[in-house]
C-alpha cells in the first residue's frame, strides 16, 4: 500500500476524494491536513472530522493548517459551488473527535522525515501548508516520494478567472514557491479534471443505494451540479479532487508531460495563471509533470466502484 497524506480544504469534491482514498485498497491514509480555500481552515477541519466520522474512519488523524496565504489576504469562500458550510448545506452532526494538537506543517515535516521516500502528499486545496513545510525544513524536498496536486490550468481556461484555477488563486505565492523548490510534483489541473464527469444518473444510483454515506453524497453533489449548471455545465460536475487521488492509485489514468511551469504572481487579469513551457532549455528545465490527457471513462468507473466502499 502506498502511504499518503491528504491536504484538503474540505468542500464537496474534497469529501469525495477523502472517501475514495480511504476506501482504496491501494492507499494507506496516514493523516489529513487542512487548509483554507473553498472555506476557512476552521470550517475545513470541522468538515473533515465530520466526513471521517460519517465514513467510519475517525481514527485517521486530522491536523489543522494555514489560516491565510503566505503573502496575500484571505479571499472569500466558494459558496456558489460548495454551499455556506462547504458540504452543499448538508447538515451533519457536530464532530465528536478533534484535530490533533500538532500543526499541519509540523505533521508533514515529521512524517516525511520518519518515512523517507515513502510518503506521497496529495494536495487538493491551496499549497500553503506544503510551502510552509518546505520553508521550515527544506530537506523534505528530497525525502518525499512525490506530490500530486489538484491545481492549475496550463492549456485550458481557468475557473476562478479566465486564465487561473481556484486552488492556485487561493495562494499564488505558495504555489510558485513549491514549483520552484525542486520537489517532485505532478499537476492534475483543469486540463484533465474537466473531462471527468459525475452525472445526475450517478446521483440517482447513489440514492437507490440508500445508505447514510450515499444519501449525504447525493445531497451534496446535487447542489454542486446545480452550481455547475449555472455556468453552462448541465450534464454534471467535474471530479477534480478525486482525480488527484486516482492518479496516485493508478498513474495510467492520465498522460503527463514534463514542463517548466511558473505561476504568474504579478497581479491583474492574469494573476495566478499557471504558465507551462514544453521547450527543452537548460535554463528552464522541466519542474512539473503536467497531466494533459485522461482516460476519463476508466477513471470514473474506478472511482464509482470504490468511493462508497463495499
Q: Active site includes 9?
A: yes
Q: List the beta bridge partners of residue 204.
A: none
- Rg over alpha carbons for the chain, rounded to the nearest Å, is 18
118: cell is 515513502
Rounded to whole angstroms, how far apart are CA atoms 292 and 265? 23
DSSP 160: S
Strand positions, DSSP E, the chain: 2-8, 27-34, 62-64, 119-123, 146-150, 185-188, 198-199, 236-237, 254-263, 274-277, 288-294
**18 alpha-carbon distance from chain centroid:** 9
Residue 157 gets the label, from left (phi > 0), alpha (psi -120 to 50) or beta, of beta
Helical axes 296-306 vs 12-23, angle rounded to 10°: 70
Identify the active-site residue in 202, 240, 260, 302. 240
Angle at 172 between CA 121 and CA 299, to 5 degrees: 45
The answer to whether 17 and 244 have CB atoms below 8 angstroms apart is yes
The CA–CA distances, whole Å, from 294 to 101, 143, 247, 251, 253 equal 39, 28, 10, 10, 6
Distance of CA 271 to the CA centre of its chain: 20
Which residues are marked as active site?
A: 9, 240
Amino acid at each position: 500500500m502506498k502511504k499518503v497524506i491528504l491536504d484538503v480544504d474540505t468542500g464537496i469534491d474534497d469529501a469525495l476524494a477523502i472517501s475514495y482514498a480511504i476506501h482504496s485498497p491501494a492507499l494507506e491514509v496516514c493523516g489529513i491536513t487542512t487548509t483554507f480555500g473553498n472555506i476557512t481552515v476552521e470550517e475545513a477541519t470541522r468538515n473533515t472530522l465530520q466526513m471521517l466520522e460519517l465514513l467510519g474512519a475517525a481514527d485517521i488523524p486530522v491536523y489543522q493548517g494555514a489560516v491565510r496565504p503566505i503573502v496575500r489576504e484571505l479571499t472569500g469562500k466558494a459558496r456558489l459551488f460548495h454551499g455556506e458550510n462547504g458540504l452543499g448545506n448538508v447538515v451533519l452532526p457536530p464532530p465528536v473527535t478533534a484535530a490533533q494538537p500538532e500543526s499541519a506543517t509540523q505533521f508533514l515535516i515529521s512524517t516525511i522525515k520518519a518515512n523517507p521516500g515513502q510518503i506521497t502528499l496529495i494536495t487538493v486545496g491551496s499549497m500553503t501548508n506544503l510551502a510552509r513545510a518546505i520553508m521550515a525544513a527544506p530537506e523534505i524536498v528530497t525525502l518525499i516520494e512525490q506530490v500530486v496536486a489538484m491545481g492549475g490550468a496550463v492549456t485550458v481556461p481557468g475557473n476562478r478567472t479566465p486564465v487561473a484555477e481556484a486552488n492556485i488563486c487561493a495562494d499564488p505565492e505558495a504555489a510558485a514557491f513549491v514549483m520552484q523548490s525542486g520537489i517532485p510534483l505532478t499537476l492534475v489541473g483543469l486540463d484533465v479534471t474537466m473531462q471527468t464527469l459525475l452525472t445526475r444518473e450517478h446521483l440517482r444510483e447513489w440514492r437507490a443505494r440508500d445508505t447514510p454515506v450515499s444519501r449525504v453524497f447525493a445531497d451534496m453533489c446535487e447542489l454542486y451540479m446545480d452550481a455547475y449548471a449555472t455556468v453552462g455545465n448541465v450534464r454534471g460536475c467535474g471530479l477534480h479532487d478525486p482525480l488527484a487521488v486516482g492518479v496516485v492509485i493508478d498513474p495510467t489514468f492520465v498522460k503527463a508531460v514534463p514542463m517548466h511551469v511558473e505561476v504568474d504572481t504579478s497581479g491583474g487579469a492574469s494573476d495566478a495563471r499557471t504558465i507551462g513551457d514544453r521547450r527543452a532549455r537548460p535554463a528552464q528545465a522541466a519542474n512539473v509533470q503536467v497531466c494533459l490527457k485522461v482516460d476519463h471513462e476508466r477513471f470514473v468507473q474506478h472511482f464509482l466502484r470504490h468511493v462508497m466502499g463495499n
